[in-house]
Amino acid sequence: MLVEAKKDIFSQLIKEATRDELLWMNGFLSGVLSAEKGGVDGISDNNLSVKPKVEKLSILYATETGNAKSLAAKFATTSKKLGIKTKLTSVDQYRLSDLSKEEYLFVVISTQGDGEPPLAAAKFFNAIHENDLKLPKLKYGVLALGDSSYPLFCQAGEDVDKQLELRGAKRVAVLQKCDTDYEEIANEWFESNIVSLNAQQSSNSATPQVIAKKTSAKKIYNGRVITNFNLNDKDSHKETHHIEIAAEGIEYTPGDALGVVPENPAQDWKEILHLTNLAPEAKIMWKDEAYKVSDLLKNKLQIIYLHERVVKKYAAIVEQEIPETRMNLTDLLKIYPVKNEEEFLQVVQILEPIAPRLYSISSSPEAHADEVHITVARDKFFVNEKEEFGLCSDYLSKLDVETNLNFYIHPNKVFRMPSEYSDVIMIGPGTGIAPFRSFLFERDAQGASGKNWLFFGDQHFTSDFLYQTEIQSFLDSGVLTKFNGAFSRDQEHKVYVQHKMQQHGAELFEWLEGGAYIYICGAKEPMSFDVEKTLIEIIASQKNIDDSQAVNYLEKLKEDGRLLKDVY
């Protein structure tokens, strides 16, 4: 018990302390209490600090959008304030030969696509899957970022956690999976584990800290389609829909995306009912809930283009040899039919939920109150010479006005506009223009004084110039300072946005030197790679330096948060 005077001093100290100071106090007191024989040998008379039990820590991050990097950087700042020598490294820059020398390692990794790690993590992933790798000295923890709407939630993080354990490393922090609303639980995970490790009598007695599971259910909005039209002219080979959705009280920030789970085509789920002789109203259990079989097949289960792993499970149920390839459930039922209703019920249990699709928001909360707009390219492709369409883009493109639509907002915390005084260069061919329409409307509504430069590209000027009238209006009003369009098929030699960037390289570099921010949105391959390659060439030419120095210049832009990408 503290005497009243000391209690008052302590209470005042706690009240006025910042979060970082409270964290330091926690580690300090833990160190004092865990010192040998209850002594205070670890305290320096000069700075009243306790020597950390964890002297060195490596933090690796593997990121696709930048969220894992941002978190890892925060973790590194926290550990340094605790007196720990901390090395922060991207996995693609990490020397794999150092892995066996590490003592403490925390990994922050996101999951992309179908349970895959970020592209930058390829070499690291391959290395930890090598059976010859032995890591008996390593103590580790993994924080995994993902989206629980997808079947293989945080799969990349699970894989890293499992492989490090198989290589002989010791887990000192329980694997933490984080959904899209991740910041609070991620910070709690790191802080509690690093303080706990510091408080241990020795590194060998470190025990994993279990963070209470928190759920952060996405807020589902019920909107109403108020506009849906094709932005392309009738002569275009493309079909790009501008869709406006009314939703009272909706909250988002320019740069965010809209997530939607599409319905399966009626002809497909109805054919499944026909093939299985099931009544539409029949009830089926799936994930501990009862559904009408028609609702399940229409709204919940992926029945189109099943993954190979699902086809493999189907083959085991029907006890037939089936090629490991992606197939529709209707085709499986026709070629390799189930024997009875019981077998079909087994099939239902192996089917995965329909994964949501994300679309960059193209509206501004300031300019379009209680609305959200998206720009959707109807995906067309051929399978065995038959034209097919992407499930979600086809579904959205056919939505009638006044149709209700459930959706959620997927925040993109690293693709944010700079201050209203900063200049912005936006590079967004095709539907990559979507967030930049949002940016321009938002900066216009805010009266931002920073300059705006837009590079846009598509196939033909007359049929594929998305949002042409609005862009012209922004130019006339001065909101858009410069615009350069690249229409690849309007001349003999194809012209893309990177060619327009080269033509204006001197001025573009002048903007960069003046502090401008660069944003890239659209196709990851090859567009985003070509754009970065062109930026390196422009920097090298204008600054009269070699390519390696230009790469360093570009990397510095990324580190400073002045080169941001939203690519897919």
Residue 6 in any domain: the answer is no
For residue 77, what are its two tokens?
């700042």
For residue 95, what are its two tokens?
């020397």
Residue 15 in any domain: the answer is no
User: Which of 513, 520, 474 shows the shortest CA–CA distance to 497?
Assistant: 520
Same-domain status, 245 and 112 = no
Same-domain status, 296 and 346 = yes
Whether the predicted model's global pTM rises above the 0.75 cut: yes
Taking CA atoms, 419 is separated from 196, 254, 412, 443, 446, in Å, by 39, 13, 17, 10, 11
CB neighbour list of residue 506: distance below 8 Å, 6 or more residues apart: 542
Same-domain status, 71 and 176 = yes
Residue 106 in any domain: the answer is yes
* Sign, CA torsion 33/35/37/39: negative
**CA of residue 274 relative to chain centroid, distance:** 39
Residue 380 in any domain: the answer is yes
Domain count, the chain: 4
Domain of residue 143: give its range: 56-198
Report the alpha-carbon distance of residue 75 to residue 92 in Å, rounded: 19
Residue 384 in any domain: the answer is yes
The conformation of residue 100, written as its DSSP 8-state character, comes to G
Residue 415 in any domain: the answer is no
CB neighbour list of residue 487: distance below 8 Å, 6 or more residues apart: 457, 458, 459, 460, 461, 464, 465, 495
Report the alpha-carbon distance of residue 106 to residue 129 in Å, rounded: 18
Same-domain status, 388 and 274 = no
**CA of residue 547 relative to chain centroid, distance:** 30
At 311, phi and psi to the nearest 5?
-60, -40
Same-domain status, 429 and 393 = no
The pLDDT profile of the chain, 568 residues, written as one tens digit per residue, is 555 655 565 666 666 666 555 555 555 554 444 444 343 333 333 333 455 678 899 999 999 888 899 999 999 999 998 889 999 999 999 999 999 999 999 999 999 888 899 988 999 999 999 988 999 999 999 999 998 888 889 999 999 999 999 999 999 999 999 988 888 899 999 988 988 887 763 444 444 544 444 545 689 999 999 999 999 999 999 999 999 999 999 999 999 999 999 999 999 999 999 999 999 999 999 988 999 999 999 999 999 999 999 999 999 999 999 998 889 999 999 999 999 999 999 999 999 999 999 999 999 999 999 999 999 999 998 877 778 899 999 999 999 999 999 999 999 988 999 999 999 999 999 999 999 999 999 999 999 999 999 999 999 999 999 999 999 999 999 999 999 999 999 999 999 999 999 999 999 999 999 999 999 999 999 999 999 999 999 999 999 999 999 999 999 999 899 999 999 8
Same-domain status, 524 and 438 = yes
Same-domain status, 340 and 295 = yes
Amino acid (one-letter) located at 19: R
**CA of residue 492 relative to chain centroid, distance:** 38
Residue after which a domain boundary falls, among 309, 328, 350: 350
Residue 35 in any domain: the answer is no
Report the alpha-carbon distance of residue 90 to residue 551 in Å, rounded: 16
Report the alpha-carbon distance of residue 465 to residue 460 in Å, rounded: 7
Same-domain status, 405 and 439 = no
The conformation of residue 75, written as its DSSP 8-state character, comes to H
What is the per-residue burial (b if ≥16 Cβ within 10 Å, else e) of 61-80? bbbbbbbbbbbbebbbebbe
168 DSSP β-pair partners: none
Helix axes 19-34, 67-81, angle to 10 degrees: 50
User: Which of 18, 182, 8 shows the shortest CA–CA distance to 26?
Assistant: 18
486 DSSP β-pair partners: 457
At 303, phi and psi to the nearest 5?
-120, -5
User: Which of 94, 167, 92, 161 shows the shortest CA–CA distance to 130?
Assistant: 167
Report the alpha-carbon distance of residue 415 to residue 412 in Å, rounded: 6
Report the relative pairing of strands 56-62 and 85-90 from DSSP bridges.
Answer: parallel
Q: Are 407 and 245 in contact (CB under 8 A)?
A: yes
Report the alpha-carbon distance of residue 364 to residue 444 in Å, rounded: 10
CATH number of the domain where residue 248 is located: 2.40.30.10
Residue after which a domain boundary falls, among 311, 329, 350: 350
Same-domain status, 112 and 240 = no
Residue after which a domain boundary falls, among 166, 198, 230: 198
Residue 81 in any domain: the answer is yes
Same-domain status, 314 and 190 = no
Amino acid (one-letter) located at 220: I
CATH number of the domain where residue 90 is located: 3.40.50.360
Q: Are 137 and 167 in contact (CB under 8 A)?
A: no
Same-domain status, 478 and 508 = yes
CATH number of the domain where residue 482 is located: 3.40.50.80
Same-domain status, 560 and 523 = yes
